[in-house]
Structure 1
């Protein structure tokens, strides 16, 4: 149970007051000052009743009784301990639970004569979306919130020392600060979309209700003006994006187009995917992108090796050790007294074996490109006197006599940024494979979801984020991320971001709510370094036909307008709105491209016909429009028998072979031939219908 959910029980305090277990100390705050600092406690009761009636008429929950104050205090004694206004303290929890943690932001005597304090709550990681994944978060780390409520004074248990630490604090200083406190906090937790953001400036007083602790999320980052300045500067700078599990590049393309439309030049500099054909498609459409056809694990190992090589050749400064290849090569050069690749080879044994000289290094990868069973760092070599057909992958350990060639490749590659390095990636986006958690997978590992090879990619994604330290992170996945195994994988990903000191939030958006003819709900997780403003989610633009179920715990993470808001949305879209303009095709259609044969019929069709350079946000937007062609509008070519069979399927929703004449569906849902109907044969002599019983 989180602090916000706890139900406090007001005790009968008369006997305790006589014993002196808890009481206010000192003179009360002057009436004028108290009314200035806490005006809501002294509001006219009639006005409050009117507000309560108004809330009730709107259907708003007003279950927590508001307490009027008779007078305020700044100090109290509970069980012999002195508590001051603005102190941090433990608050008594239910039996068997750890005490809650709060800041005392108000002390007052109610009009009922009882002593109260107002708690502004701190959340432990386990009190948030993270729950059982709290092991990734420091036990002493808590998160400040805007949640406040009133409690009997005798609920206070013990004073605490809670330190406010700046983000990205030096590790040594942080350890020293942690040793001198009970808890520390460096972020704020907001319940909408389970948001963790940077703390507001320290001069925002917490002891007064004259305003919210943070009036907006822009204020909460601590720099509204500086955020604007950064954005204006970004107009003239290129922001670099790495697209992991990129497929054909749809996610990064959409992000870049959206960024362009706001004046930010976001460029997909690198992309990684295991599918060869997806990589070829992405490279065709984005020739400026360094596309790597390899697993994310091997990519991570490669960029770690790349950093060490760059350090070895003094291209970057880092605390990592130089690459062993460079140091071992230098030792060998020292032993022979030089590194002259053009020296003649003295074949004293009279052997006439051919000597291969390296012309240049073409590429690098980590893995086993030769399929020899030896995994490691490899270089693609162009040999002197040979052409591209004879290029080979060679382990870097075997190229100790080609130091200059390797150095030349690394130096040129560093200048061209062929691989990302820590600190030079602005955005990482990606959707790790979801087959391991999909509801269509009957063999999901519920007990240990991260043991599934595909689910492990979630950990690899976060490992790459941890290594490259981008300014922003955006991860997308299916809703099963927060449904499967009690949402363990979603909680894990969120905990990893927080452990890396990223601001974070989690939201769910349905594609249909933004103008697509399908529901398609997806989870989006944002991360941002402390100095940046954590991006918001765009609000829906269209009505949508809702499908599927969202876990009750995460209902508030759905991106939507506030309940009761009156918003005019665009009409929902259906399949007809998307494909009604497509020309008919026959089974033997051979063309890769063809004219549409008519004008578009809907706004969606107008948009979907656009090429990339015609879309809003594109650098080519506004240029002369060329005729639009329809690409790849071809069916899978069927043989005559199969084509004849397909033509018999009724044209209605959900139809399949069970709807064919001559097929009977039994009570157990199995199919069989109908013995009362004569079998029909194709001209080829085969049966019309082939049924697997």
Structure 2
């Protein structure tokens, strides 16, 4: 069935530049939704007070080797569809999240259009880039955010970094040549030290390549503040499962020394024999032959450093991916779903749906919960300030 959702004529509407989205057209609702749930779906202003989300970022991401593909371009255009929700529902607060490259994509035109559209609607707007590692996760993850608040509301401020994290000041260059930074660099210090890989996953029991048991015994005690906060002394662990590598990749990983920063360049230049009797090069041919054009393919087939941090969490960890450093510091396997979830700051009790690929995708697409919590506190402060 389709349910008409015309805008309230009493609510003022302003032009929405360059966004050809019919937000006021009928909203079709699938027949499989029970009638009792239809009443819970917001229809128009002022039923929605807060909209937040991250339109698909793969089209803007520098980690996507296919960001010029037709599907990536469709994903980029979903920014307009997301903005149309703000134009139609007119929430009190609006928060948009995307990758760091969203600010400079298409020479900044998409970013400026987003800001101009929200301003044209009458919203107050604040934009900036935050580093998740400065808010309590052992991961380098820079993300762009746009806050918007309706007239009469207090525009939420940015949370202050709480953890020292080795990252330059995250600046957005303005048209006049000046720059703006939402948060100060932590080079001068912060209340807490940075989180490490050991702080994050050092208490987890060892598992093998291709581990597939959905639940295993924890059998340990948390030894860091992060581990106690994330789960405490839980009797079991879910999703401590690992993607299974083929024989050649497993051999390659076993030849990576168990030292910080080691990757494919630490392989010996030799051939290895597979179980089929075939002799193959230990070093993939493409890596040394194209390394000069690709920053030496730094990190591919790389091991994590116990005293370092995770690279940016991706939706499909693999040794030849854009983020190839996805190997456990000591064990010969790709990091598990549970370890990836911890790198993002998900509590141990959180459950992910689907197969192992789907679970990695859900984790890799998420805003780290500690950063989301810090933003949420600022929203609460803004609401409290009004009262």
Q: TM-score w.r.t. structure 1 length?
A: 0.34
Distance 1:586-1:558 versus aligned 2 partners, 3 A rule: same
SS in 1 for 2:60: coil
Residues 169 and 185, structure 2, Cα contact 8 Å, conserved in 1: no
User: Take 2:102 and 2:90, find their aligned partners in 1: how far apart are those partners?
Assistant: 24
- Aligned partner of 2:278 in structure 1 is 686
Distance 1:477-1:562 versus aligned 2 partners, 3 A rule: same
SS in 2 for 1:475: strand
- Asked which structure has the greater RCO (Cα within 8 Å, sep 6+), the reply is 2
User: Take 1:561 and 1:588, find their aligned partners in 2: how far apart are those partners?
Assistant: 40
Residues 169 and 181, structure 2, Cα contact 8 Å, conserved in 1: no
Distance 1:170-1:594 versus aligned 2 partners, 3 A rule: closer
Distance 1:569-1:473 versus aligned 2 partners, 3 A rule: same
Residues 170 and 183, structure 2, Cα contact 8 Å, conserved in 1: no
Distance 1:551-1:471 versus aligned 2 partners, 3 A rule: closer
- Aligned partner of 1:184 in structure 2 is none
SS in 2 for 1:507: strand
User: Take 2:24 and 2:221, find their aligned partners in 1: how far apart are those partners?
Assistant: 49
Post-superposition shift, 1:479?
Answer: 1.7
- Aligned partner of 1:436 in structure 2 is 59
SS in 2 for 1:556: strand
- Aligned partner of 1:539 in structure 2 is 160
Cα-to-partner distance string for 1:85-110 (whole Å, 9 max, x where unaligned): xxxxxxxxxxxxxxxxxxxxxxxxxx
SS in 2 for 1:455: helix
Name which of 158, 166, 184 aligns with 1:560. 184
Distance 1:555-1:585 versus aligned 2 partners, 3 A rule: farther
Cα-to-partner distance string for 1:324-370 (whole Å, 9 max, x where unaligned): xxxxxxxxxxxxxxxxxxxxxxxxxxxxxxxxxxxxxxxx33xxxxx
Q: Is residue 597 from structure 1 mapped to residue 219 from structure 2 by the alignment?
A: yes
User: Take 1:688 and 1:648, find their aligned partners in 2: how far apart are those partners?
Assistant: 14
SS in 1 for 2:104: helix
- Aligned partner of 2:26 in structure 1 is 305
Matched residues, number: 266
- Aligned partner of 1:636 in structure 2 is 243
Could you tell me which runs of 5 or more consecutive residues in structure 1 were left unpaired when the two chains were aligned: 1-167, 175-296, 308-363, 366-378, 382-408, 611-625, 664-678
Q: How does 1:139-538 map to 2 (within 5 A)?
A: 304-306=25-27, 364-365=29-30, 379-380=31-32, 412-415=36-39, 417-418=40-41, 420-441=43-64, 452-538=73-159
Post-superposition shift, 1:571?
Answer: 1.0
Cα-to-partner distance string for 1:369-388 (whole Å, 9 max, x where unaligned): xxxxxxxxxx359xxxxxxx
Q: Is residue 607 from structure 1 mapped to residue 229 from structure 2 by the alignment?
A: yes
User: Take 1:442 and 1:681, find their aligned partners in 2: how far apart are those partners?
Assistant: 32
Q: Is residue 574 from structure 1 mapped to residue 196 from structure 2 by the alignment?
A: yes
User: Take 1:443 and 1:639, find their aligned partners in 2: how far apart are those partners?
Assistant: 25
Q: Is residue 660 from structure 1 mapped to residue 267 from structure 2 by the alignment?
A: yes
Post-superposition shift, 1:595?
Answer: 2.5
Residues 649 and 659, structure 1, Cα contact 8 Å, conserved in 2: yes
User: Take 2:112 and 2:45, find their aligned partners in 1: how far apart are those partners?
Assistant: 26
- Aligned partner of 1:64 in structure 2 is none
Post-superposition shift, 1:651?
Answer: 2.6
Distance 1:508-1:642 versus aligned 2 partners, 3 A rule: closer
Say which structure is richer in strand. 1
* RMSD (Å) for aligned C-alpha atoms: 3.7
User: Take 2:239 and 2:79, find their aligned partners in 1: how far apart are those partners?
Assistant: 33
- Aligned partner of 1:648 in structure 2 is 255
- Structure 1 segments, 4+ long, off by >6 Å, are 168-171, 300-303
User: Take 1:542 and 1:380, find their aligned partners in 2: how far apart are those partners?
Assistant: 47
Q: Which of structures 1 and 2 has the bigger CA Rg?
A: 1
